[in-house]
Structure 1
Amino acid sequence: MKKYFKYIMISLAVVSLSSCEKFLDINKNPNSLTSATPALILPQAITNSALIGNNSSQSMSDFGGYQANAGGFGGFGSVVTYDFGTGNFNGLWVGTYDNANDFEYILTNTSSNPVLAYSTAIARIMKSMDFERLVNQYNDAPYSDALKGSASLQPKYDKAEDIYKACIAELNKAIADITTAQGNIATEKITASSDPLFSGDMDLWKKYANTIKLRMLIKMAGVPAQQAYATAGFSAIDRTLGFLTTDAINQPTYEKTTRPSPVYSSLGFTATGTNVNTSRIPTKWIFSFYNGIKISDPARGAAIYRNFPSTPTNQLGDESAGVPAALAAGSAWFTGTNTTTSTIGVVKGPGQGVPVMLAAESYFLQAEAFARNYLTGDAAAAFQNGVLQSFTYLYKNASNVVDPSKNPAADVATYMTENAASPLVNFNLAVSLDQKIEAIITQKYIAFNMINNDEGFNEFRRTSFPKIENGSLNPTATFASRQSISTRSDKLPSRILYPQQEYNLNPNNAPSGINKFTSRIFWDLN
């Protein structure tokens, strides 16, 4: 007997709304604070930003082709038709502004004191990252007139590209301010306990800001009207500082009973060991990058998926009687033998950190910048490092340590050999620029699998890679839903919609005429 769809909707509501129920929340209205200090707010705001990122990733996993509906359920509605409205996906909007308010409070209360320069710079970086993520899903948004409390109850909307430019300016200032503060012996140090992302390593904070900036400039560079700005931005990037070479993992000491990891809670189990993923299984599309249909990758496949290569899979929108149910023994994305012991893969255990930016992404961004001559460098070497770092992250356990039985470099070498004829794996076979970008984005898409699904979908919209066959019903040729009502040739959505509350509370400024299939983010020209 099929279970009623209401249970699906309950689970979707949890994912959609949990980003505005802030983990380790310290305030709901920064204008009402009476005793909270920046030192208290900062680590909790960083952790909440990571939570929002995780929730955004999970919300985009259906759109991005990473997961599909499982058998044993019916009536998936807008999940498979894409007929969603202004009441869906509101958590990202609400959660981001709530989180940005925290960072704005820190900026207001520290920026005039050079002793607190590190706190100020971190808040500046995280606020910029918040708005970058918001723009990537909504486009125009309140920025310059936002975060002012009662002084601006109906903030005007800024152009998405102007928000990007403002955030890049903030990132530049943060990097410069950290450098200055590092030469000041009086600067108050950031301790590991107050920095769950980089444990007080301010050089890593600068590299993180530089990498975010690179990601934004690459998106802007593809827009003709923004090319001059992007070119100047690339020229100004501090190459001596460099970019992230290690994973940025938020870890405020998650543990199973009172504070389980959001990744584990989203894709694995509850604190009591109940499987939270009974309505979702991987797509046949994403599996084709592991099981040999497109690429042979049994090492990462086995690290990510339970019972690989026999994990149940489906095509989004296929609700026929033959669709397999989710695994009874546990989540498809948890390969461990029990819900307590740490394992490798995407879902590592209740104590795992939340990945905010993978080193793999940093290297793939560099590879694209080098391939397009935005920056000078070895695209092939950066590509190879991106693949290696993807294997390395998946081979780490919940303690962020590579399992001693795994050898990422050796498995990458095997991966290259098994796919010796594929330019998607062996970069030297990618001759044209288009082939090089396809290889880079395809490998980035694979690296993002159930980790940063939203950015995987962002990059598909920006570049049209990985390639799909528009209108196909072949489950390995496209990740579009079989029940899509999209008017696009690829049958996918182009964006999510502004929350209804914006039209209720800020009607004079909220953009009108937004269409989920034809309205695009400013960097989406495809």
Structure 2
Amino acid sequence: MIGSLALGSCKKFLDINTDPNKSTSVEPKLLFGYAVTAWDVNKNSGDSWMNLGFIGQTIANGGDFSDNWGAFDIYDLSQNSMSNNFRMAYSTAGNNLVQAIKIAESSSPANNNAAAQCKILLAQIMFETTMNFGDIPYSQAFEPEKYPNPKYDSQKDILEDLLLTLDEAKSQMDPTSPLKIADYDIFYSGDLAKWKKYANSLKFKILMVMVDKDPSKASAIAALVQDPSQLVNAASENVRVPYSTTPNNENPKYRLFLEDNPFTYANKVMTDIMVPKNDPRLSKYFDLPAGETQYIGVESNVDADKHTALLGKYMFRKDAPSLIVSYQEMLFLEAEVYARGIGVTKDISKANDLYKAALIEAMRFYEVPQVQIDNYIANNLVDLRTAADPVKEIHLEQWVDLMDRPVEAFIQWRRSGPEGSEVPTLKVPFGATSGALLRRYILPSTETNSNSSAPSPIPPYYEKVWFDL
């Protein structure tokens, strides 16, 4: 479990108050706050959001028509970006959370709630890191003096341990104690009941990633969906990083594009799903060029033109929140569980109700007017009870909802079916460097050159990670 891991980082780390003439401790809340900032800025930047958006084909770079700098859509993976993602997980966000856990648990009295909060966030970051890179340093990753070359743990072992860590964090919480991270907790302001929901929701997501490779996880999934009050169960319980119009507190994508047209375009895969259904989120996701009335997407690395719909400025407005775990996400997963009968009796009618509720919540999150939502539900909603493939319909809408969350969209696409049957169907982009779709990040040379435990040969980007069928 993370709480009992060797606590350090992959190579070089931040030295925290090592001057013997100064305090030898930092408040856990400060380390927590820094970790959240480092993680979310990375997740919503050119190193993650843009790269995985191009790779996962939720957005398009417009080819030679664009001033965009993206080449990830043709699998030209920048070593700088790979290194920045790896460094965030270990040397900055991860290391700060590990130090916060140490300090919280060794304090007198112990601040068990702060430790639990940090463990949940660290589990989130490690989950995303193994989803992107596959096998990674984990059990030896956070004690460089003892393990200068930390071993690589299997993705399965990491996911199993994350499940244990989340249960440990929930058990560690003490609602009677005033000690916790509150003023620096931008998610829930120290509301431990909501933190437990966050832990359960992340656990649900991990289990859904694992269950097709390990069907024994079905019973744990059933235990969660049969009492959804354990999960994020309302929009007010969403895990999200808020941003504002205050200088230096804007959404990272706003700072990435500086409110200019980003020359990033609607991907044809996305518009091919949304346009036939007259999805009212189109006007939120994308902006129409002057004189256009139809949302036209472009394939990955194919040249856009003056008619191609652009990424909507609504999506990178200053105060756009960064969504981590959402109510609609839980509803879609619950719908999938009942549509497939994962640990529960298959119930398409119940799945249909959950699917409908998920779409309503997804549209509300993007501030679609209620009249447009009502019209869509009445006239364009696919009825799972009569659909030829209800699970496919759920997967399609799960993916559309994750358009602005490419880390999650990439996970969702890979777990949606065996290779060749994923939803939606993607094809290798024009000009890509191989005949296979990308299925993972490659390890950065900063890691492979400095850690003798790194795998050799380095797994190529088209090699599937453990959970990917």
* TM-score after normalising by structure 1: 0.75
Q: Distance in 2 between matches of 1:480 and 1:417?
A: 36
**Aligned mates of 1:325, 1:88 — CA distance in 2:** 31
Deviates more, 1:369-378 or 1:51-60: 369-378
SS in 1 for 2:162: helix
**The one of 343, 352, 355 aligned to 1:380:** 352
Q: Does 1:323 align with 2:305?
A: yes
Amino acid corresponding to residue 241 of structure 2 in structure 1: N
With over 3 angstroms needed to count, the CA separation of the structure-2 counterparts of 1:61 and 1:77, relative to structure 1, is: closer
Percent of matched pairs sharing the same residue: 19
Is the 2:402–2:409 contact (alpha carbons within 8 Å) kept by the matching residues of 1? yes
Structure 1 partner of 2:339: 371
The residue number in structure 1 matching 2:372 is 411
For residue 428 of structure 1, give the secondary structure of its aligned residue in structure 2.
coil
2:451 is aligned with 1:506: yes
Paired letter, 1:163: I
- 2:8 corresponds in structure 1 to none
| Contact 2:201/2:232, CA 8 A, preserved across alignment | yes
Q: Does residue 216 in structure 1 map to residue 211 in structure 2? A: no
- 1:249 alignment partner, SS class: strand
Q: Determine helix, strand or coil for the equivalent of 1:214.
A: helix
The superposition leaves residues 246-300 of structure 1 with CA deviations (integer Å, 9 ceiling, x where unpaired) of: 222112x54342332113224xx42xx5x1613x2111221122222xx321x21
- What is residue 149 of structure 1 aligned with on the other side? 144
- 2:240 aligned counterpart, secondary structure: strand
Report what 2:196 is aligned to: 206
Q: Distance in 1 between matches of 2:305 and 2:74?
A: 17
* Partner Cα separation in structure 2 for residue 507 and residue 325 of structure 1: 51
Q: Corresponding residue for 1:233? A: 220
2: CA distance, partners of 1:243 / 1:210:
6
Q: CA deviation at 1:83?
A: 4.1
CA contact under 8 A between 1:416 and 1:426: conserved in structure 2? no
Query: Which whole-Å CA distance do the structure 1 matches of 2:110 and 2:240 have between them?
Result: 27
1:142-162 deviation per Cα after TM superposition (whole angstroms, max 9, x unaligned):
001011133322101111110
Q: Deviations over 1:189-209 (max 9, x none)?
A: 443x32111122211111111
Q: Return the match for 2:429 from 469, 481, 484.
A: 481
Q: 1:61 aligns with which of 53, 73, 83?
A: 53
* Distance in 2, Cα, partners of 1:117 & 1:110: 6
Give the aligned residue type for 2:306. Answer: P
Contiguous gaps of at least 5 residues in structure 2: 1-12
Q: Is the 8 A contact 1:281 1:314 kept in 2?
A: yes
Q: Which residue of 1 aligns with 2:367?
A: 395
Specify whether residues 437 and 31 from structure 1 end up closer, same or farther in structure 2 by C-alpha distance, changes over 3 A only. Answer: farther
Quick one: distance in 2 between partners of 1:45 and 1:83? 29
Shift of 1:135: 0.7
Aligned equivalents of 1:240 and 1:302: distance in 2?
32
- CA distance, structure 1, for counterparts of residue 18 and residue 51 of structure 2: 31
- The offset of 1:384, in angstroms, is 1.5
Higher RCO (C-alpha 8 Å, min separation 6)? 2
Superposed displacement of residue 227, structure 1:
2.4
When residues 416 and 187 of structure 1 are mapped into structure 2, their CA distance, relative to the original with a 3 A threshold, is: same
- The one-letter amino acid paired with 1:227 is P
Offset, 1:485: 3.3
Which runs of structure 2 are paired with 1:90-109 in the superposition (5 Å)? Answer: 90-97=83-90, 98-109=92-103
- The match for 2:315 is 346
* Distance in structure 2 (CA, Å) of the matches to 1:146 and 1:103: 13
Task: Give the distance between the partners of 1:196 and 1:508, measured in 2 at CA.
Answer: 37
- How many Å separate the matches in 2 of 1:75 and 1:207? 39
Give me the whole-angstrom Cα distance separating, in 2, the residues matched to 1:263 and 1:441: 26
Note the aligned Cα RMSD (angstroms).
2.8
1:1-400 equivalence runs, <5 A: 28-30=14-16, 32=18, 34-55=24-45, 56-70=48-62, 71-73=64-66, 78-84=71-77, 86=79, 88-97=81-90, 98-112=92-106, 115-178=110-173, 181-182=174-175, 184=176, 186-191=177-182, 193-223=183-213, 226-228=214-216, 230-234=217-221, 237=224, 239=227, 241-245=229-233, 246=235, 247-251=238-242, 254-266=244-256, 269-270=257-258, 273=259, 275=260, 277-278=262-263, 280-292=264-276, 295-297=277-279, 299-307=280-288, 309-310=293-294, 313-319=297-303, 323-324=305-306, 332-334=311-313, 345-347=314-316, 349-376=317-344, 378-395=350-367
Shift of 1:73: 4.3
2:3 aligned partner: none
Structure 1 residues 87-96 or 197-206, which shifts more? 87-96
- Provide the TM-score with structure 2 as the length reference: 0.84
Alpha-carbon separation, structure 1, partners of 2:124 and 2:241: 14
Give the secondary structure class of the aligned counterpart of 1:391: helix
Which residue pairs with 2:383 in the alignment? 426
Task: Say whether the 8 Å CA contact 1:366–1:379 is kept in structure 2.
Answer: yes
- For residues 218-243 of structure 1, the C-alpha deviation after alignment (integer angstroms, 9 at most, x for no partner) is 111100xx222x13533654837521
Q: 2:396 aligns with which of 427, 438, 442?
A: 442
Whether contact under 8 Å (2:219, 2:343) holds in the other structure is no
- Between the aligned partners of 2:271 and 2:308, the Cα distance in structure 1 is 15
Residue number in structure 2 paired with 1:337: none
Distance 1:109 1:485 in 2: 47
Equivalent-residue separation in structure 2 for 1:318 and 1:368 (angstroms):
34
C-alpha distance in structure 1 between counterparts of 2:308 and 2:324, whole Å: 28
Gaps of 5+ in 1: 1-26, 335-344, 397-405, 469-477
State the 1:52 CA deviation: 2.8
Partner secondary structure for residue 324 of structure 2: strand
SS at match of 1:197: coil
Letter in 2 for 1:171: L
Range moving further from structure 2, 381-390 or 66-75: 66-75
For residues 321-344 of structure 1, give each alpha carbon's deviation from its aligned partner in whole angstroms, at most 9, with x where no partner exists.
x733888xxx6311xxxxxxxxxx
Deviation at 1:69, TM superposition (A): 2.2
Counterparts of 1:288 and 1:240, CA distance in 2: 33
SS of equivalent residue, structure 1 residue 379: helix
| Cross-structure match for 1:466 | 423
CA distance in 2, matches of 1:88, 1:48: 14
Alpha carbons of structure 1 residues 124 and 77: separation in structure 2 relative to 1, 3 Å = closer
Question: What do residues 358-386 of structure 1 show as CA deviations (whole Å, max 9, x unaligned)?
Answer: 22111111222222333548322221221
Q: Is the 8 A contact 1:300 1:391 kept in 2?
A: yes
Q: Give the length in aligned residue pairs.
A: 433
CA distance 1:506–1:288, change in 2 (3 Å): same
The structure-2 alpha-carbon separation of the partners of 1:128 and 1:31, relative to structure 1 and needing over 3 Å to count, comes to farther
